[in-house]
A and B are shown apart, each in its own frame.
Chain A
Amino acid sequence: MTLGYNTIVVLAGCALLGLAAGTVGSFALLRGRALVADAVGHAALPGVVLAALLVATLGHDPRALPPLLAGAAVAGLLGVLAVQALARTRRIREDAAIAIVLSSFYALGVALLSYVQTLPEAAQAGLNKFILGQAAAMRAEDAFWAGAVALLALLLCLLLFQRLRAACFDPDFARVAGLDTQRTDLALLALIVTVTVAGLQAVGLVLIVALLVLPAATARLLTFRLPRLLLFSALIGAFAGAAGAAASAVEPDLPTGAAVVLAGAACFTLALLFSPDRGMVPEAVRRAGRRLDAAQEHFLRAAWEAQEAAGAGPGTAGDRWTPIAALAAARGWGEGRAWWIARWLAVRDLVALSERQVHLTPRGAAAARRAVRAHRAVEHHLLALGAADTAGADRLADMVEHGLTPEAASRLLPEPSALPASPHALGGKP
């Protein structure tokens, strides 16, 4: 495949569109206006069809993009106004109002479309391409138009940055401070309509909402800073737009909208899984790490306390071997689990392992002593407060001891330097 002039222009136009949609979409998402974009997209269909009909009747080329976009914008705005008017009657909530308006306008558009396609003049306008989008069918001048409109929206959005941020975060405060939040909201609405309309031909009106929402939602998973969020969102949007256009060029039967949304959804899924801060996989890894740390400390402490119970006494730990089965019984663990933890601790050179018995290495003994101190510090603290009985203190300490630094443990202990005796009998759990 060679990249013709037309293809390159369409690709650039779609990337620019994604750039603008990602930026405007960030504010739409933060202001809770994501569904408005959906309403605008669907409501635009009757406007597009009527505009094509009008242009054809006047004897002009019904494929010219500007009149179609103007029709889409007018119908989209009417749709949003209808949603607001419906919600204001207080007989129905906004989400239901959006659903009703969106489907009604869309149904009207579909009905008009089936009628228009029986007419010879408007039939070639390729209007049904607007529903799912087909970037490959775009002409260079269409891409210019879409790109120019998107660029305008992008620039306006960046100019209005501070105002939009204030209106999104705390509109009441902004109003009291003297900012005209209603005007800012209107501007945001206009930006949403503009970007949506600009993307109709390339992405299609059914899926255009995703181009606004997916990049912004992805970027939110990646950063807590608004400027960076806008940048990430814009870049992801541009990538999704370009990927969609490229897919459409390679495979003209594939609706561009679908390709764009799939690219965006892939980005979102990756971020949801692997974002360093808020991703699910890193979080699961962190949680598993914490659980492993806790299990190790419990094992080491059990090994130490087994020594104590055998009369070896603190400080002489490591002298004798303890069966893993006894430690498992003391912790209430299955023997298999205790065995795996023992293997892991042996790898880390904290215990020595021989014939299903362990003993603490010098490093392991030091770590075990810290764990025992932390545990008993919490126990004695809770008992001194009268906050728990002996068994309760033991259970509570098992949960909170792991983050405790030696200094904090010393502060909680009645005799800061020594290792206090356990307040309860050592050995098997009840």
Chain B
Amino acid sequence: MSGTAAPFEVRGLTVAYAERPVLWDVTWAAPPGLTAIVGPNGAGKSTLIRAALGLIPTLSGSAHFFGRPLAEVRNRVGYLPQRASVDWDFPATALDVVCMARYPRMSWWGRVPRRERDAARAALAEVGLADFAERQIGRLSGGQQQRVFLARALAQDADLYLMDEPFAAVDAATEQAIVAVLRRLTETGRSVVAVHHDLSTVPDYFAQVLLLNGRAIAAGTVQDAFTPETIAATYGGRLNLLEHASVTAGARG
């Protein structure tokens, strides 16, 4: 990266819940393109994203987006939270939810303008849910709900997307649809940083990786940084035998 600032960068980020530190002095910059954050449960992957976005308090450190604090570049940053973080019984249609991404572009009062509504419909179409726009969100399948969230992120029309487990508990078809959308995003010069659970698909889906377990263990291209040694260092004894087998098959060691 010469000259231009990284899309996403954290410096000395430290976060603690009550007395227990979860993230410990993490300094890392995500280059443009598709980046995965991997690590065991409780490694602070979601915490890293949420702290960087100012959703939870930090003890120290800072986060920058395109070299600037979030408040100055909010319209360039999109967010896809974990699906379980909201109440899917909420009285809203898929289109209602996606429209929420366009609220910052609207006046604070009144209805959603036709232009914003069309943008939201286009985002739904992009994830293959054009026919489900008027469906109540509680009556969508888990994979469809995840795609609604993806559509909402797309409707933000950002340059960088932070995604918290976009592939969590989705069916194979949805996973492929999401991957296709992520690839299209990078083809148009956007960047994606995604918390990812399935180590075996990291080399297929992502170009860059951050291995995280409280601290940043390793980072770089999947080729260089995603090795059996760094994975072992990240997961320690917690990686069971079965998982280990699939990891070493997927990693280019």
Q: State the Cβ distance, A391 to closest chain B Cβ, in Å.
A: 31
Stretch at the interface among A33-41, A108-116, A171-179: A171-179
Instruction: Check A177–B136 contact: CB distance below 8 A.
Output: no
Chain B residues lying within 8 Å of A226, measured Cβ to Cβ, are 91-92, 96
Chain A residues lying within 8 Å of B230, measured Cβ to Cβ, are none
Interface size classification for chain A: 20 to 34
For residue A209, CB closer than 8 A to chain B, the reply is no
A160 to B111, CA, bound (A): 10
With most chain A CB atoms within 10 A of its CB, the pick from B54, B77, B92, B111 is: B92
Of the candidates B75, B81, B90, the one whose C-beta lies within 8 Å of that of A173 is: B81
A-contact 0/1 string along B95-111, CB 8 Å cutoff: 01100110110101111
For residue B133, CB closer than 8 A to chain A, the reply is no
CB nearest to A26 among chain B residues = B91
For residue A192, CB closer than 8 A to chain B, the reply is no
Of the candidates A159, A160, A162, A169, the one whose C-beta lies within 8 Å of that of B86 is: A169
Chain B residues lying within 8 Å of A224, measured Cβ to Cβ, are 91, 136, 138-139
Known: A162-B112, A224-B136. A177 touches B91 (CB 8 A): no
With most chain B CB atoms within 10 A of its CB, the pick from A160, A162, A165 is: A162
Instruction: Check B152–A173 contact: CB distance below 8 A.
Output: yes
For residue A170, CB closer than 8 A to chain B, the reply is yes
CB nearest to B162 among chain A residues = A176
Known: A163-B103, A166-B103, A170-B85. A176 touches B96 (CB 8 A): no
Chain A 218-253 interface residues, beta-carbon cutoff 8 Å to B: 220, 223-226, 229
Chain B 146-167 interface residues, beta-carbon cutoff 8 Å to A: 152, 156
Q: State the Cβ distance, B28 to closest chain A Cβ, in Å.
A: 20
Known: A162-B103, A169-B100, A177-B74. A225 touches B91 (CB 8 A): yes
Chain A residues lying within 8 Å of B248, measured Cβ to Cβ, are none
Instruction: Check B74–A165 contact: CB distance below 8 A.
Output: no
Chain A residues lying within 8 Å of B139, measured Cβ to Cβ, are 224
A174 to B102, CA, bound (A): 10
Of the candidates A160, A166, A176, A229, the one whose C-beta lies within 8 Å of that of B91 is: A229
For residue A325, CB closer than 8 A to chain B, the reply is no
Which positions in A face B, CB cutoff 8 Å?
30, 159-163, 165-166, 168-170, 172-179, 220, 223-226, 229
Enumerate the 7 nearest inter-chain pairs by beta-carbon distance, A residue then B residue, closest first. A224-B136, A178-B74, A176-B79, A159-B109, A178-B104, A226-B91, A170-B86
